[in-house]
Amino acid sequence: MAGVPSYLSHVFGFTLFCATWILATGCIQETPPDPPDKVSQQLVKLLHDPQAEIRRTAALSLGKISDPTSVTGLIESLADQDEEVRQWSAWALGNLGDHLSQEAIVALVQSLADPSEQVKQTAALALGRTPASEDVLQVLEEALNIATPSTQQAIIQALSHFSFPFSYEIFLEATQSQTPLIRQTAVAGLGELGDPRGLPVLRTLLLQDPNVRVRAEAAYRLGKLGGKGEISALQQSRDTDPTPTVHFWASWALRQLSEPI
Spell out the CATH class of 36-132.
mainly alpha
Please check whether residue 160 is in contact with residue 131, taking contact to mean a CB–CB distance below 8 angstroms: no
CA distance 119 to 145: 20
Give the count of beta carbons closer than 10 Å to the beta carbon of residue 255. 12
Q: What angle do CA 213, 112, 90 make, to 5 degrees?
A: 105
Q: What is the pLDDT of residue 247?
A: 97
CATH 1.25.10.10 placement within the chain: 36-132, 133-261
pTM summary value: 0.76
CATH code that applies to domain 133-261? 1.25.10.10
Check pLDDT > 80 for residue 25: no
Confidence of residue 115 (pLDDT cuts 50, 70, 90): very high
> Which range has the top average pLDDT, 11-20, 221-230, 238-247?
238-247
Residue in 105, 98, 173 with CA at minimum distance from that of residue 137: 105
CA distance 112 to 114: 6
Q: What is the pLDDT of residue 159?
A: 93
Please check whether residue 257 is in contact with residue 231, taking contact to mean a CB–CB distance below 8 angstroms: yes
Please check whether residue 245 is in contact with residue 236, taking contact to mean a CB–CB distance below 8 angstroms: no
